[in-house]
């Protein structure tokens, strides 16, 4: 009988090879039944920081179009407002893609806490500059600063990886979308309530300053929250990267043969980061991010466009209810169900389930359009919209699952920040491309009458199926996390 050779790359090639139970398997099973308690104070501070991201980024949405229309850049043509507003958001993702890897990799060298503090400081500076902007180019500069100075989106995920292990990571990950949803609700409320305060609250904001800078107050309120988070992080948060691991960087860089050593410790050169499992996990994350943000860009466009060009013609208030309900449902589902489902099915099945929902999300939009054209926007259409949002909620489960693959994929523990930086850089590039591509294809499909105006959904449906095929290459279980050799000896 031929014995098949099994090595660390085998899970990338096949997922059904029978392997005898080992002590590691038993340890893994025990970990799943008795999860390690989460460090509550550290996790709570990290969740406090997570809220900063959506508050600062999404508080501008309620007033950004009005702000741009008041600038001289549009020449009084309201049709150009959406173009410039979209350009500002794309620039954020572009500049973020340029620096997030460097910030995340730096956190492997000098620790997570200093980078988190720099990111919070960058958010405060850029938001204050945004509120004081009177020209389009100062708006551009402020949003670019947000992307350039804030690498926290990758560093926070690395910190979650530091604070959790394979037994409790699902619980830690499940909190991220809940907190994000909370911030995504608070941010627009701040922007919509406190923009132009001299008009909304004339008896309180009587100074000419508020007339000169009518959008400074919501920025100031957001900055105030970030400042509180900055102080708490500086005083209470404990560094999660051990000093010994960081100090080994000096010995690594001074050693002439460290790059060829078989015992790899500490932060790695970039070329050593591109291992098969890092490439596979990051590739799946990029595909998920691209398809997800493309759907998120198409959804409000589909809801807003008139019936005769393939939309539903809903008012902004109704679109807000749909998007808000989607965000709330995602947060609640992730908080109460993700960890249990992940423990029951495993990471691969959860990720495949999420990716399987994406083709359905894209297919449902033209189906809803056809029904709406025939029957109007009634109870049936609203039921179909609710079903589509349920599919989107299921799709969002894939983020937690792929995050655990990425966290377990680095060649060494010291490369965790660099790995998350690589994943966020790649995802930022895809997020800069996705919205422009999907909305442009929507317009082309309608103008050229491709597939009766529905070609955009067919294209992204096919891309979603291709993404599902890539997802099947993931191993059945998350890889065993690599430990630095010196840390293993210390623990022993």
Per mean pLDDT, which range of 38-42, 224-228, 229-233, 486-490 is the poorest? 486-490
List of residues 6+ apart from 341 with CB closer than 8 A:
350, 397
Q: What percent of the chain has pLDDT over 90?
A: 27
Q: Of residues 65 and 388, which shows the higher confidence score? A: 388
Give the position of tokens 């910190």: 159
pLDDT for 130 beyond 80: yes
Task: Give me the mean pLDDT over the 423-450 stretch.
Answer: 83
Tens of pLDDT, residues 159-209: 888 888 877 877 777 777 778 777 777 777 788 788 889 988 888 898 999
Judged by DSSP in three states, 11 sits in helix
Task: Give me the mean pLDDT over the 91-103 stretch.
Answer: 81
List of residues 6+ apart from 293 with CB closer than 8 A:
430, 431, 434, 435
Per mean pLDDT, which range of 35-49, 51-65, 97-111, 449-463 is the poorest? 51-65
pLDDT on residue 77? 59
Q: Of residues 252 and 226, which shows the higher confidence score? A: 226
Tens of pLDDT, residues 301-327: 788 888 888 889 887 667 767 877 787
Among residues 197, 232, 220, 284, the alpha carbon closest in space to that of 467 is found at: 284
Among residues 24, 12, 35, the alpha carbon closest in space to that of 348 is found at: 12
Q: Mean pLDDT of all residues in the chain?
A: 80
Task: Give me the mean pLDDT over the 244-251 stretch.
Answer: 54
- Quote the CA–CA distance of 291 and 387 in Å, as a whole number: 19
- Quote the CA–CA distance of 469 and 355 in Å, as a whole number: 10
pLDDT on residue 74? 65
Most confidently predicted of 42-46, 263-267, 270-274: 42-46
Task: Give me the mean pLDDT over the 339-365 stretch.
Answer: 93
pLDDT on residue 3? 42
Q: Is the dihedral of CA 369, 371, 372, 373 positive or negative?
A: positive
CATH 1.20.1250.20 placement within the chain:
37-240, 270-487
Question: 37-240, what's its fold?
Answer: Growth Hormone; Chain: A; (1.20.1250)
List of residues 6+ apart from 72 with CB closer than 8 A:
135, 136
485 pLDDT band (50/70/90 cuts)? very low
Q: Is the dihedral of CA 173, 176, 181, 182 positive or negative?
A: positive
pLDDT on residue 492? 44
Question: 270-487, what's its fold?
Answer: Growth Hormone; Chain: A; (1.20.1250)
267 pLDDT band (50/70/90 cuts)? low
pLDDT on residue 279? 92
Per mean pLDDT, which range of 80-89, 315-324, 374-383 is the poorest? 80-89
């Amino acid at each position: 009988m031929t014995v098949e050779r099994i090595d660390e790359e085998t899970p990338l090639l096949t997922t059904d090879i029978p392997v005898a139970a080992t002590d590691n398997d038993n340890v893994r099973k025990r970990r799943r039944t008795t999860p390690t308690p989460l460090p509550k104070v550290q996790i709570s501070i990290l969740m406090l920081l997570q809220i900063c991201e959506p508050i600062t980024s999404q508080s501008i949405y309620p007033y950004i179009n009005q702000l741009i229309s008041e600038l001289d850049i549009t020449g009084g043509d309201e049709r150009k407002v959406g173009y410039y507003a979209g350009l500002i958001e794309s620039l954020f993702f572009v500049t973020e893609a340029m620096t997030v890897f460097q910030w995340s990799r730096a956190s492997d060298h000098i620790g997570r806490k200093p980078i988190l503090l720099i990111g919070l400081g960058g958010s405060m500076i850029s938001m204050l500059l945004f509120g004081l902007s009177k020209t389009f180019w100062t708006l551009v500069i402020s949003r670019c600063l947000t992307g350039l100075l804030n690498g926290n989106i990758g560093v926070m995920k690395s910190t979650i990886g530091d604070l959790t292990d394979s037994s409790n990571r699902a619980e830690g990950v499940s909190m991220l979308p809940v907190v994000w949803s909370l911030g995504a609700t608070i941010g627009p409320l701040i922007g919509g309530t406190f923009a132009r305060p001299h008009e909304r609250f004339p008896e309180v904001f009587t100074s000419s300053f508020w007339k000169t800078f009518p959008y400074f107050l919501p920025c100031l309120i957001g900055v105030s929250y970030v400042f509180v988070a900055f102080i708490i992080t500086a005083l209470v948060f404990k560094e999660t990267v051990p000093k010994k691991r960081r100090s080994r960087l000096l010995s690594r860089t001074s050693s002439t043969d460290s790059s060829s050593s078989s015992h790899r410790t500490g932060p790695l050169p970039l070329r050593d980061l591109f291992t098969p499992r890092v490439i596979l996990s990051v590739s799946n994350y990029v595909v998920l991010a691209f398809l997800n943000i493309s759907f998120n860009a198409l959804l409000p466009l589909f809801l807003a466009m008139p019936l005769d060009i393939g939309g539903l013609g809903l008012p902004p208030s109704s679109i807000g209810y749909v998007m808000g309900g989607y965000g709330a449902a995602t947060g609640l589902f992730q908080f109460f169900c993700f960890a249990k489902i992940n423990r029951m099915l495993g990471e691969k099945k959860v990720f495949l389930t999420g990716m399987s929902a994406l083709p359905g999300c894209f297919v449902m939009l033209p189906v809803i359009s056809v029904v709406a054209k025939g029957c109007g926007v009634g109870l049936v259409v609203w039921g179909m919209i609710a079903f589509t949002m349920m599919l989107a909620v299921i799709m969002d489960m894939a983020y937690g699952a792929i995050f655990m693959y990425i966290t377990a994929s680095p060649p060494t523990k010291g490369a965790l920040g660099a790995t998350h930086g690589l994943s966020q850089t790649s995802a930022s590039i895809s997020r800069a491309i996705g919205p422009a591509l999907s909305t442009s294809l929507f317009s082309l499909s309608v103008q050229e009458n491709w597939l009766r105006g529905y070609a955009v959904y067919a294209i992204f449906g096919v891309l979603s199926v291709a993404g599902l095929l890539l997802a099947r290459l993931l191993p059945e279980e998350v890889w065993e996390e690599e430990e630095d050799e010196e840390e293993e000896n210390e623990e022993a």
